[in-house]
């Protein structure tokens, strides 16, 4: 099977590091023009751009600031032209112990939902508006195993923020499929990135390894091929699907 993303322009959020970086790299290697989104790590985003074979662009937007998010997609379309794919990967996982004072706990809850859910929903809404005019577009939302399995008490906000995007993704698939828009969900388990390192340093590596069927933790490069396939159009009839990439956690 040959996968070509030639003539595609795809926005990958949170592409400066981790899973997003691996996705952007593979989409580019497969022929797409990639818009590398970042928040704080401009240097890393520029470094990735310089390593890619195909043309790429770098854009920042703080997803915790709704004012920056509203209008982001139309701005990119005006600047670069039509966007065929949106990979919503950027996310945060902040620990909030259940014995925190409620106001502190709530602050972490609100930031988590803002970045992982509300901003993602705004990007989806604006992308759907754009894609409807082209009668074509694909969205890949990066959720988490936590959306389906729940999480530890200190990551309840994270699990809930990722659970909400399951129904968002399915609603888009259901409602806009006849207008050429496809929408998929990926639910990774523990994946070796900065985000996982924080959790692993808290709980230890055995905590994660004991949870999976394979001998080693998932790497960002293990997630990217599925996203590339979904963006290619070869798997459009999987629209609305949630795809687990969690090294066999559910069968272990
Ligand atoms: N790693 C795992 O174990 C795991 C498991 C399941 C699901 N996931 C999900 O996979 C996705 C990627 O995770 P990762 O592990 O690769 O995370 P990561 O290494 O921590 O990278 C997070 C990315 O999101 C961006 N980001 C963070 N806060 C942002 C904000 N306020 N506005 C805009 N961008 C922001 C970061 O940009 P800057 O670097 O520029 O600040 C960075 O590019 C997330 O949605 C995560 O929930 C991860």
CB-CB contact of 207 with 185 (8 Å)? no
Condensed to tens digits (0 to 9), the pLDDT of residues 42-78 reads: 999 999 999 999 999 999 999 999 999 999 999 999 9
Read off the pTM. 0.98
Alpha-carbon 239 to chain mean position: 16
Of 80, 158, 203, 250, the active-site residue reads 158
Domain residue spans of the chain: 9-245
How many Å apart are CA 155 and CA 214, to the nearest integer? Answer: 24
The candidate with the shortest Cα–Cα distance to 201, out of 216, 190, 212, is 190
Q: Could you tell me the maximum CA-CA distance found in the chain, to the nearest angstrom?
A: 54
How many Å apart are CA 143 and CA 216, to the nearest integer? Answer: 21
Atom of ligand 1 minimally distant from the CA of 62? 32
Report residue 199 as tokens: 């959790």
pLDDT at 203: 82
Across 92-115, average pLDDT: 97
User: Is 158 among the residues known to form the active site?
Assistant: yes
Condensed to tens digits (0 to 9), the pLDDT of residues 222-232 reads: 999 999 999 99
Atom of ligand 1 minimally distant from the CA of 90? 24
Q: Give the CATH architecture of domain 9-245.
A: 3-Layer(aba) Sandwich (3.40)
Burial class (CB in 10 A: 0-12, 13-18, 19+), 113: middle
Across 19-38, average pLDDT: 98
19 CA to centre of ligand 1 in angstroms? 7
């Amino acid at each position: 099977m040959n996968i070509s993303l030639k003539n595609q322009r795809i926005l990958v959020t949170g592409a400066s590091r981790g899973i997003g970086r691996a996705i952007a790299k593979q989409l580019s290697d497969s022929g797409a023009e990639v818009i590398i989104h970042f928040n704080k790590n401009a240097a890393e985003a520029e470094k990735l751009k310089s390593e890619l074979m195909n043309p790429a662009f770098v854009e920042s937007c703080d997803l915790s600031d709704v004012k920056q998010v509203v209008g982001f997609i139309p701005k990119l379309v005006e600047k670069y032209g039509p966007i065929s794919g949106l990979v919503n990967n950027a996310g945060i996982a902040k620990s909030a112990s259940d014995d925190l004072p409620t106001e502190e706990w709530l602050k972490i809850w609100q930031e988590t939902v803002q970045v992982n859910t509300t901003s993602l929903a705004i990007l989806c809404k604006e992308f759907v508006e754009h894609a409807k005019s082209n009668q074509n577009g694909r969205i890949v939302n990066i959720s988490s195993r936590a959306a389906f399995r729940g999480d530890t008490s200190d990551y309840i906000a994270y699990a809930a923020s990722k659970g909400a995007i399951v129904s968002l993704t399915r609603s888009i698939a259901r409602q806009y499929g006849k207008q050429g828009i496809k929408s998929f969900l990926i639910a990774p388990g523990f994946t070796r990135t900065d985000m996982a390192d924080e959790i692993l340093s808290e709980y230890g590596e055995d905590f994660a390894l004991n949870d999976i069927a394979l001998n080693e933790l998932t790497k960002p490069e293990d997630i990217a091929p599925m996203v590339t396939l979904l963006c290619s159009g070869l798997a459009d009839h999987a629209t609305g699907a949630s795809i687990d990439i969690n090294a066999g956690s559910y069968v272990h």
